[in-house]
Copies of this chain bind each other. A is one copy, B any other.
Protein backbone atom coordinates (compact mmCIF):
# COMPACT_ATOMS: atom_id res chain seq x y z
CA UNK A 1 0.00 0.00 0.00
CA UNK A 2 1.29 3.42 -0.90
CA UNK A 3 1.89 5.56 2.15
CA UNK A 4 1.16 9.25 1.89
CA UNK A 5 4.35 11.29 1.36
CA UNK A 6 5.09 15.02 1.60
CA UNK A 7 5.21 15.08 -2.20
CA UNK A 8 1.62 13.79 -2.23
CA UNK A 9 0.24 16.38 0.16
CA UNK A 10 2.13 19.47 -1.08
CA UNK A 11 3.69 22.36 0.80
CA UNK A 12 0.55 24.26 1.85
CA UNK A 13 -1.19 21.19 3.26
CA UNK A 14 1.99 20.24 5.14
CA UNK A 15 2.06 23.70 6.75
CA UNK A 16 -1.62 23.37 7.68
CA UNK A 17 -1.08 19.98 9.30
CA UNK A 18 2.01 21.12 11.23
CA UNK A 19 0.02 24.13 12.49
CA UNK A 20 -2.22 21.75 14.42
CA UNK A 21 0.70 20.85 16.70
CA UNK A 22 1.12 24.48 17.72
CA UNK A 23 -1.02 26.13 20.38
CA UNK A 24 -1.26 29.49 18.62
CA UNK A 25 -0.87 28.42 15.00
CA UNK A 26 2.08 30.74 14.46
CA UNK A 27 2.55 29.36 10.93
CA UNK A 28 -0.13 31.84 9.93
CA UNK A 29 2.33 34.66 10.54
CA UNK A 30 5.83 35.54 9.47
CA UNK A 31 7.23 35.58 13.00
CA UNK A 32 6.65 34.00 16.38
CA UNK A 33 6.12 36.32 19.35
CA UNK A 34 7.74 35.85 22.75
CA UNK A 35 6.07 38.01 25.38
CA UNK A 36 8.16 39.43 28.20
CA UNK A 37 7.17 42.12 30.70
CA UNK A 38 8.60 45.18 28.96
CA UNK A 39 9.42 44.13 25.45
CA UNK A 40 7.97 41.56 23.13
CA UNK A 41 10.43 39.66 21.01
CA UNK A 42 9.82 38.64 17.42
CA UNK A 43 11.51 35.42 16.31
CA UNK A 44 11.87 34.12 12.78
CA UNK A 45 13.58 31.07 11.26
CA UNK A 46 14.43 30.78 7.57
CA UNK A 47 16.52 28.13 5.83
CA UNK A 48 18.42 28.04 2.54
CA UNK A 49 19.27 24.58 1.15
CA UNK A 50 21.82 23.81 -1.57
CA UNK A 51 20.33 22.81 -4.93
CA UNK A 52 16.89 23.91 -3.69
CA UNK A 53 17.50 27.60 -2.94
CA UNK A 54 21.04 28.11 -4.20
CA UNK A 55 24.09 26.56 -5.80
CA UNK A 56 27.69 27.68 -6.24
CA UNK A 57 27.20 28.58 -9.91
CA UNK A 58 24.51 31.21 -9.37
CA UNK A 59 25.50 32.89 -6.10
CA UNK A 60 28.78 33.47 -4.25
CA UNK A 61 29.04 32.39 -0.59
CA UNK A 62 29.39 36.05 0.45
CA UNK A 63 26.17 37.02 -1.35
CA UNK A 64 24.48 33.92 0.09
CA UNK A 65 25.39 34.98 3.64
CA UNK A 66 23.99 38.46 2.95
CA UNK A 67 20.81 37.01 1.49
CA UNK A 68 20.25 34.54 4.36
CA UNK A 69 20.30 37.45 6.82
CA UNK A 70 18.14 39.74 4.69
CA UNK A 71 15.45 37.09 4.17
CA UNK A 72 15.11 36.84 7.96
CA UNK A 73 15.18 40.59 8.56
CA UNK A 74 12.49 40.99 5.91
CA UNK A 75 10.23 38.69 7.98
CA UNK A 76 11.00 40.64 11.16
CA UNK A 77 10.16 43.94 9.44
CA UNK A 78 6.95 42.52 8.05
CA UNK A 79 5.83 41.87 11.67
CA UNK A 80 6.80 45.36 12.85
CA UNK A 81 10.24 44.75 14.38
CA UNK A 82 11.79 48.09 15.35
CA UNK A 83 15.26 46.70 16.00
CA UNK A 84 17.13 43.51 15.12
CA UNK A 85 18.85 42.09 18.22
CA UNK A 86 20.80 39.34 16.54
CA UNK A 87 20.78 35.93 14.91
CA UNK A 88 21.78 32.34 15.60
CA UNK A 89 23.16 30.32 12.70
CA UNK A 90 22.69 26.58 12.23
CA UNK A 91 24.94 25.28 9.46
CA UNK A 92 24.95 21.87 7.79
CA UNK A 93 28.03 21.34 5.63
CA UNK A 94 29.69 18.42 3.81
CA UNK A 95 33.21 17.67 5.15
CA UNK A 96 34.69 18.51 1.72
CA UNK A 97 33.47 22.11 2.01
CA UNK A 98 36.37 24.55 1.71
CA UNK A 99 37.06 26.72 4.74
CA UNK A 100 37.22 29.70 2.35
CA UNK A 101 33.55 29.10 1.45
CA UNK A 102 32.53 29.24 5.12
CA UNK A 103 34.67 32.35 5.73
CA UNK A 104 33.07 34.16 2.79
CA UNK A 105 29.59 33.13 3.96
CA UNK A 106 30.26 34.65 7.39
CA UNK A 107 31.70 37.81 5.80
CA UNK A 108 28.44 38.24 3.90
CA UNK A 109 26.42 37.55 7.06
CA UNK A 110 28.35 40.17 9.03
CA UNK A 111 28.13 42.67 6.17
CA UNK A 112 24.33 42.44 6.24
CA UNK A 113 24.29 42.71 10.05
CA UNK A 114 26.47 45.85 9.93
CA UNK A 115 24.02 47.35 7.44
CA UNK A 116 20.77 46.39 9.18
CA UNK A 117 21.82 45.93 12.82
CA UNK A 118 22.21 42.86 15.04
CA UNK A 119 25.03 40.52 15.95
CA UNK A 120 25.72 36.80 15.70
CA UNK A 121 24.54 35.40 19.04
CA UNK A 122 25.53 31.78 18.52
CA UNK A 123 24.84 28.67 16.51
CA UNK A 124 25.94 25.18 15.66
CA UNK A 125 27.48 23.29 12.78
CA UNK A 126 26.84 19.69 11.65
CA UNK A 127 28.02 17.40 8.91
CA UNK A 128 25.60 16.67 6.07
CA UNK A 129 25.43 15.63 2.40
CA UNK A 130 24.43 19.07 1.19
CA UNK A 131 24.92 22.59 2.44
CA UNK A 132 22.11 24.20 4.43
CA UNK A 133 21.99 27.49 6.32
CA UNK A 134 19.25 27.97 8.87
CA UNK A 135 19.11 31.38 10.54
CA UNK A 136 16.94 32.33 13.51
CA UNK A 137 16.63 36.09 13.90
CA UNK A 138 15.44 38.08 16.93
CA UNK A 139 13.85 41.52 16.83
CA UNK A 140 12.00 43.82 19.19
CA UNK A 141 8.30 44.34 18.49
CA UNK A 142 7.63 48.02 17.77
CA UNK A 143 4.36 49.81 18.60
CA UNK A 144 2.77 48.91 15.26
CA UNK A 145 1.75 45.26 15.12
CA UNK A 146 2.02 44.14 11.51
CA UNK A 147 0.18 40.85 11.06
CA UNK A 148 -1.20 38.81 8.17
CA UNK A 149 -4.67 38.68 9.69
CA UNK A 150 -5.11 42.43 10.26
CA UNK A 151 -6.26 43.63 6.81
CA UNK A 152 -9.80 44.95 6.56
CA UNK A 153 -12.34 45.40 3.74
CA UNK A 154 -12.08 48.93 2.36
CA UNK A 155 -8.34 49.23 2.93
CA UNK A 156 -5.90 50.10 0.15
CA UNK A 157 -3.28 47.46 -0.77
CA UNK A 158 0.29 48.74 -1.18
CA UNK A 159 3.75 47.35 -1.93
CA UNK A 160 7.17 48.78 -1.13
CA UNK A 161 8.57 48.21 -4.61
CA UNK A 162 8.92 46.42 -7.91
CA UNK A 163 8.54 42.62 -8.19
CA UNK A 164 9.94 40.02 -10.57
CA UNK A 165 13.51 41.30 -10.63
CA UNK A 166 14.94 38.61 -8.36
CA UNK A 167 13.39 35.88 -10.56
CA UNK A 168 14.93 37.45 -13.68
CA UNK A 169 18.27 37.71 -11.86
CA UNK A 170 18.04 34.02 -10.91
CA UNK A 171 17.32 33.07 -14.55
CA UNK A 172 20.17 35.24 -15.85
CA UNK A 173 22.59 33.63 -13.35
CA UNK A 174 21.28 30.18 -14.33
CA UNK A 175 21.96 31.00 -18.04
CA UNK A 176 18.34 30.41 -18.98
CA UNK A 177 17.70 31.10 -22.66
CA UNK A 178 15.01 33.72 -22.99
CA UNK A 179 12.60 33.63 -25.92
CA UNK A 180 14.24 34.94 -29.10
CA UNK A 181 11.70 37.66 -29.62
CA UNK A 182 12.54 39.35 -26.33
CA UNK A 183 15.59 41.57 -26.39
CA UNK A 184 16.46 42.16 -22.77
CA UNK A 185 17.90 45.46 -21.74
CA UNK A 186 21.41 45.03 -20.25
CA UNK A 187 20.71 47.54 -17.46
CA UNK A 188 17.65 45.50 -16.45
CA UNK A 189 19.67 42.27 -16.36
CA UNK A 190 22.41 43.81 -14.18
CA UNK A 191 19.83 45.34 -11.85
CA UNK A 192 18.00 41.99 -11.60
CA UNK A 193 21.16 40.05 -10.77
CA UNK A 194 21.84 42.56 -8.01
CA UNK A 195 18.30 42.08 -6.70
CA UNK A 196 18.77 38.30 -6.72
CA UNK A 197 22.24 38.24 -5.10
CA UNK A 198 22.03 41.23 -2.75
CA UNK A 199 18.39 41.89 -1.94
CA UNK A 200 17.68 44.94 0.20
CA UNK A 201 15.02 45.80 2.74
CA UNK A 202 13.90 49.26 3.85
CA UNK A 203 14.38 49.73 7.60
CA UNK A 204 12.76 53.23 7.34
CA UNK A 205 9.43 51.69 6.46
CA UNK A 206 8.20 51.53 10.05
CA UNK A 207 9.19 55.12 10.81
CA UNK A 208 7.42 56.34 7.69
CA UNK A 209 4.33 54.39 8.69
CA UNK A 210 4.37 56.05 12.13
CA UNK A 211 5.02 59.51 10.65
CA UNK A 212 2.02 59.32 8.34
CA UNK A 213 -0.44 57.79 10.81
CA UNK A 214 -3.41 60.08 11.31
CA UNK A 215 -5.06 58.14 14.15
CA UNK A 216 -2.92 56.99 17.06
CA UNK A 217 -5.35 54.26 17.96
CA UNK A 218 -4.53 52.40 14.75
CA UNK A 219 -1.96 49.84 15.80
CA UNK A 220 -2.71 46.66 13.87
CA UNK A 221 -1.83 46.59 10.17
CA UNK A 222 -2.25 43.77 7.65
CA UNK A 223 1.23 43.02 6.29
CA UNK A 224 3.50 40.24 5.01
CA UNK A 225 6.62 40.09 2.87
CA UNK A 226 6.80 38.85 -0.72
CA UNK A 227 9.57 36.28 -0.25
CA UNK A 228 7.33 33.65 -1.92
CA UNK A 229 6.13 36.05 -4.63
CA UNK A 230 3.63 38.91 -4.85
CA UNK A 231 0.66 36.64 -5.55
CA UNK A 232 1.44 34.40 -2.56
CA UNK A 233 1.74 37.45 -0.28
CA UNK A 234 -1.64 38.80 -1.44
CA UNK A 235 -3.25 35.37 -1.03
CA UNK A 236 -1.77 34.94 2.46
CA UNK A 237 -3.20 38.33 3.52
CA UNK A 238 -6.59 37.56 1.98
CA UNK A 239 -6.86 34.14 3.65
CA UNK A 240 -5.57 35.21 7.08
CA UNK A 241 -7.72 38.39 7.07
CA UNK A 242 -10.76 36.71 5.50
CA UNK A 243 -11.36 39.28 2.76
CA UNK A 244 -10.96 39.58 -1.00
CA UNK A 245 -8.00 41.35 -2.64
CA UNK A 246 -8.79 43.26 -5.85
CA UNK A 247 -5.63 44.17 -7.77
CA UNK A 248 -5.47 46.90 -10.41
CA UNK A 249 -3.00 45.57 -12.99
CA UNK A 250 -2.47 49.09 -14.39
CA UNK A 251 -1.24 50.39 -11.02
CA UNK A 252 1.42 47.75 -10.53
CA UNK A 253 4.90 49.30 -10.63
CA UNK A 254 7.23 47.69 -13.17
CA UNK A 255 10.75 48.39 -14.29
CA UNK A 256 10.56 50.64 -17.37
CA UNK A 257 12.25 47.95 -19.49
CA UNK A 258 10.24 44.99 -18.12
CA UNK A 259 8.98 43.06 -21.19
CA UNK A 260 5.26 42.57 -21.92
CA UNK A 261 3.54 39.19 -22.17
CA UNK A 262 2.01 36.41 -20.08
CA UNK A 263 5.35 34.76 -19.26
CA UNK A 264 6.66 38.06 -17.87
CA UNK A 265 3.51 38.62 -15.87
CA UNK A 266 4.04 35.16 -14.38
CA UNK A 267 7.63 35.99 -13.41
CA UNK A 268 6.30 39.20 -11.87
CA UNK A 269 3.55 37.64 -9.74
CA UNK A 270 5.05 34.25 -8.88
CA UNK A 271 8.83 34.91 -8.99
CA UNK A 272 9.56 35.33 -5.29
CA UNK A 273 12.59 36.44 -3.27
CA UNK A 274 11.96 40.14 -3.85
CA UNK A 275 11.59 40.79 -0.09
CA UNK A 276 9.22 43.70 -0.53
CA UNK A 277 6.41 44.34 1.92
CA UNK A 278 2.78 43.85 0.89
CA UNK A 279 0.31 45.54 3.23
CA UNK A 280 -2.97 47.42 3.52
CA UNK A 281 -3.93 50.76 5.11
CA UNK A 282 -7.00 52.98 5.45
CA UNK A 283 -7.30 55.32 2.45
CA UNK A 284 -5.94 58.50 4.03
CA UNK A 285 -2.95 56.79 5.62
CA UNK A 286 -2.17 55.03 2.31
CA UNK A 287 -2.23 58.37 0.47
CA UNK A 288 0.04 60.08 3.02
CA UNK A 289 2.54 57.22 2.99
CA UNK A 290 2.79 56.86 -0.79
CA UNK A 291 3.23 60.63 -1.06
CA UNK A 292 6.07 60.57 1.49
CA UNK A 293 7.82 57.48 0.05
CA UNK A 294 7.90 57.41 -3.74
CA UNK A 295 8.87 53.69 -3.78
CA UNK A 296 5.54 52.76 -2.23
CA UNK A 297 2.65 52.13 -4.62
CA UNK A 298 -1.08 51.58 -4.19
CA UNK A 299 -1.94 48.46 -6.23
CA UNK A 300 -5.52 47.62 -5.22
CA UNK A 301 -7.88 47.26 -2.29
CA UNK A 302 -9.55 44.75 0.03
CA UNK A 303 -13.28 44.15 -0.08
CA UNK A 304 -15.83 41.85 1.54
CA UNK A 305 -15.94 38.48 -0.14
CA UNK A 306 -14.20 35.17 -0.57
CA UNK A 307 -10.61 35.14 0.70
CA UNK A 308 -8.86 35.20 -2.69
CA UNK A 309 -7.08 37.45 -5.15
CA UNK A 310 -8.79 38.96 -8.22
CA UNK A 311 -7.91 41.50 -10.89
CA UNK A 312 -10.06 44.59 -11.36
CA UNK A 313 -9.69 43.97 -15.13
CA UNK A 314 -11.38 40.57 -15.59
CA UNK A 315 -9.28 39.96 -18.74
CA UNK A 316 -6.25 39.52 -16.51
CA UNK A 317 -7.87 36.80 -14.37
CA UNK A 318 -6.48 34.00 -16.53
CA UNK A 319 -3.04 34.94 -15.22
CA UNK A 320 -3.83 33.92 -11.65
CA UNK A 321 -5.11 30.53 -12.79
CA UNK A 322 -1.55 29.79 -13.91
CA UNK A 323 -0.45 29.94 -10.26
CA UNK A 324 2.03 27.09 -9.91
CA UNK A 325 0.97 24.36 -7.46
CA UNK A 326 3.57 24.23 -4.72
CA UNK A 327 4.97 20.72 -4.73
CA UNK A 328 7.04 19.85 -1.74
Contacts and interface: CB of A to CB of B under 8 A. Distances in A.
Contact of A34 (B45, B121, B128): B121
Size band of the interface chain A makes with B: 35 or more
Interface of A: 3-9, 11, 14-15, 17-18, 21-24, 26-27, 29, 31-34, 36-39, 41, 43-49, 51-53, 85-86, 88-90, 92-100, 102-103, 106, 109-110, 119-130, 132, 134, 136, 138, 327-328
A176 to B, nearest CB: 21
A40 to B, nearest CB: 10
Nearest to A35: B85
B43 A121 contact: yes
Contacts of A32: 86, 88, 121-122
A100 B86 CA distance: 35
Nearest to A95: B7
Contact of A49 (B27, B33, B126): B126
- 8 nearest CB pairs, A to B: A32-B122, A32-B121, A26-B122, A7-B95, A90-B134, A37-B38, A22-B120, A21-B106
Contacts of A48: 126
A326 B90 CA distance: 19
A86 B122 contact: no
A319 to B, nearest CB: 27
Contacts of A136: 43, 45, 88, 90, 136
